[in-house]
């Protein structure tokens, strides 16, 4: 547990030292809350679906967790290019422990970022049911764990720091927009339903929305099961690919 704790703590220290990163990562969620939450709110209400902000906020929180988690992988490329990764890997510590520590640290950071967006959403008028707050935090952590592991898996195969953001944007934006974060999945075309069903983030958004007192499309039990299986798979995949890194 010692190496895992050290890597976890290192990730938290990196996050706490980068104030620009913390503030910058809040920009996109704020834009979505303002532009979509208040811009489309009256249209959503006229359609008979109630307050759009109550529907949108869980999706925006998931987005904050998603982006922070995935882009934590760029730190792996940074460490590799500047030699810090070599110093870590030559230590008498299992690579599995190093990867687990990095992943847990990145997931914790992403979860903290999501919590900050949750607090901002409350200031904007979001009124969730906090009776299931522990379940909400669990879903946030699973989303963070899954996509931190995904970011690490991809970063372990890349050497070019410039290519990582391009590849991740190509992957992350469809994941977000086809997750049901900004529009209800109920009543959409069959092709969108199929695409969303193959999207792990859709289950995270749906579970988080249900835990806050909203309607669930898949059912909270199914959300937890699918998200847990995806998380386990990508942690295992990330651990395998990380163990194959050559220094």
Residue 244 pLDDT grade (very low, low, confident, very high; cuts 50, 70, 90): confident
| Mean pLDDT in residue range 108-119 | 90
Q: Is the pLDDT of residue 165 over 80?
A: no
Residue 87 pLDDT grade (very low, low, confident, very high; cuts 50, 70, 90): low
Cα–Cα distance for residue pair 227/4, rounded to 1 Å = 23
Expressed as residue numbers, the domain containing 212 is: 2-243
Residue 130 pLDDT grade (very low, low, confident, very high; cuts 50, 70, 90): confident
Which of 92, 73, 115 shows the shortest CA–CA distance to 6? 92
Per-residue confidence (pLDDT) for residue 80, from 0 to 100: 73
Per-residue confidence (pLDDT) for residue 11, from 0 to 100: 63
Q: What is the pTM of this model?
A: 0.88
| Mean pLDDT in residue range 136-152 | 92
- Could you tell me the two tokens for 217? 């499309």
Mean residue pLDDT of the chain comes to 82
Contact 147, 110 (CB under 8 A): yes
Overall number of domains in the chain: 1
Sequence-distant (6+) residues with CB within 8 A of 247 are 80, 85, 86, 89, 90
Tell me what percent of the residues of the chain surpass a pLDDT of 70.
Answer: 82
DSSP 130: G
Three-state SS for 27? helix
Contact 244, 237 (CB under 8 A): no
Q: Classify residue 29 by burial, with Cβ atoms within 10 Å: 0-12, 13-18, 19+.
A: buried
């Amino acid at each position: 547990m010692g190496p895992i704790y050290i890597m976890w703590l290192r990730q938290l220290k990196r996050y706490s030292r980068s104030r620009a990163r913390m503030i910058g990562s809040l920009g996109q969620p704020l834009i979505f809350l303002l532009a979509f939450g208040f811009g489309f709110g009256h249209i959503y209400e006229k359609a008979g679906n109630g307050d759009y902000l109550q529907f949108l906020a869980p999706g925006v929180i998931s987005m904050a967790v998603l982006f922070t988690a995935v882009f934590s992988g760029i730190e792996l490329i940074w460490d590799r290019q500047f030699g810090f990764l070599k110093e870590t890997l030559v230590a008498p510590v299992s690579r599995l422990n190093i990867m687990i520590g990095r992943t847990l640290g990145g997931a914790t950071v992403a979860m903290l970022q999501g919590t900050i967006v949750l607090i901002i959403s409350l200031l904007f008028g979001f009124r969730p049911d906090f009776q299931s707050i522990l379940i909400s935090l669990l879903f946030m952590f699973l989303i963070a764990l899954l996509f931190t592991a995904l970011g690490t898996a991809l970063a372990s195969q890349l050497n070019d720091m410039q290519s990582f953001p391009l590849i991740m944007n190509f992957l992350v934006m469809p994941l977000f927009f086809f997750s049901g974060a900004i529009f209800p999945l109920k009543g959409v075309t069959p092709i969108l339903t199929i695409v969303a069903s193959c999207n792990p983030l859709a289950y995270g958004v749906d579970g988080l929305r249900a835990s806050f007192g909203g309607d669930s499309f898949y059912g909270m039990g199914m959300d937890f099961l699918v998200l847990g299986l995806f998380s386990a798979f990508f942690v295992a995949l990330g651990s395998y690919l990380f163990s194959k890194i050559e220094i």
